[in-house]
Amino acid sequence: MTNATTPRHDTKNPLTCCPRCYKAELLGRAMRSPIFRYDKVDADERPLSYAVYHGAQHVATLSRRGASGPTAYEVRVVAPGGEQELVAGSLRDARALAEETYTVEL
Ligand SMILES: [Zn+2]
């Protein structure tokens, strides 16, 4: 196949297909208010962590740090250009930050 005018888009995995599909998918999600799922990560050597999923896609990781305060939680959001590292003062803030960043990020 060398026909460049009919590119095939991976509609089952739009986030990893191409920037155009990624953007379109996020726009669609923003309108439908994406539902996120949280899985507690069981790992002895790591602090309390939650993996954030949108559908089957792992989109962020929330980790409790040692100290409390405005940086008590580390928020890593998976983005096409690389991971974004953010901090939050509470689990609630960390979740809101992750969802917001994932939804608008490009
Ligand atoms: Zn595409």
Inside any domain, residue 48: yes
Residues with Cβ within 8 Å of 41's Cβ and at least 6 positions away in sequence, in order, are 49, 50, 51, 61
Query: Cα(22) to centroid of ligand 1, in Å?
Result: 7
28-59 per-position pLDDT tens digit? 776 766 778 999 987 776 678 999 998 888 99
Show the domain range for 48: 35-105
Neighbours of ion ligand 1 (CB under 5 A): 9, 17-18, 21
pLDDT-derived band of residue 106, with 50, 70 and 90 as boundaries? Answer: very low
Residue 12 located in a structural domain: no
Q: Is residue 91 part of a domain?
A: yes
Ligand 1 centroid, distance to 29 Cα (angstroms): 16
pTM for the whole thing? 0.63
Q: How far is the CA of 11 from the centre of ligand 1 (A)?
A: 7
- For residue 25, the CA-to-ligand 1 centroid distance in Å is 10
Tokens of 81: 């250009």
In a domain, 3, yes or no: no
**Residue 95 located in a structural domain:** yes
CB atoms within 10 A of CB 62: 25
- The percentage of the chain sitting over the pLDDT mark of 70, rounded to a whole number, equals 85
4 falls within a domain: no
Measure the CA–CA gap between 30 and 50, rounded to whole angstroms. Answer: 22
Q: What is the pLDDT of residue 94?
A: 95
Whether 40 is in a domain gets the answer yes
Euclidean distance between the first and the last CA atom of the chain, given in angstroms as a whole number: 30
Encode burial over 22-61: b for 16+ CB neighbours within 10 A, e otherwise. beebbeebeeeebeeeeeeeeeeeeeebbebebeeeebbb
In this prediction, residue 4 has a pLDDT band, given cuts at 50, 70 and 90, of: low
Number of structural domains found in the chain: 1
Residue 24 in any domain: the answer is no
Two structure tokens written together for 59: 């989109």
